[in-house]
Amino acid sequence: MPEAREMVHEVKVTVDENRCVGCGLCEQVCPVRNFEIVTTESGKKKSRVTEGAGERCFCCKACEVICPTQAVVIYEGLA
């Protein structure tokens, strides 16, 4: 019989700043407010991942699907 063990489910919400065009669609669809649109020093709008996003994330991946430039990627690991 296997031994009981600690199970870790890590979710990492990422935005590739180089790909992001700041359209705000990820911020619009995410039901748990994992994104916010900020203005960078160069004046460009970009999506930024909010604190605690991994814990809140439903892993629905709607942000990945709606992002027009594939800037948003959800990494999920279960160990």
Partner 1 sequence: MPDLVIVGAGLGGLAAAWDAARFLPDYKIKVIGDERPYVRHKLRVAVVGKDISISTKHIENLGVEFVWDKVTKIRREQREVVLESGEKLNYDHLILATGSQPSRPKSIEGIEKAMGFRRLEDAQRIREEKPSRVAIIGASFVALHVADSALAVGAEPVIIVRSRLVRKSLEPELSQKLEERLKELGVEFVHAKPKSVKDNAVEADGEVIEADLIVTATGVNPDIRLAKEAGLELIWDWAVKVDEQGRTSDPRIFAIGDVANCYCPVTGKPDYFGIGTVATLMAYNAVKAIQGSKAVVKTPAYIKDAFMGGNFVFRAGLVSPQAEKAGFNVERIDVSGTEYGDHAYIVYEKETRRLIGFSSVSNRDIGSKAIELEKAIRLKRKVDDVLPSDIGR
* Nearest to partner 1 of 18, 42 (CB atom): 18
- As a whole number of angstroms, the distance between CA 41 and CA 70 comes to 23
Which pair of structure tokens corresponds to residue 1?
């019989």
Q: Which is nearer to partner 1, 8 or 43 (CB)?
A: 8
> According to the binding rule CB under 8 A, does residue 57 interact with partner 1?
yes
Residues from 8 through 27 that contact partner 1 (CB under 8 A): 8-9, 16
The answer to whether 59 touches 30, Cβ cutoff 8 Å, is no
Of the chain, the end-to-end C-alpha distance in Å amounts to 19
* CB of 79 vs partner 1, minimal distance in Å: 6
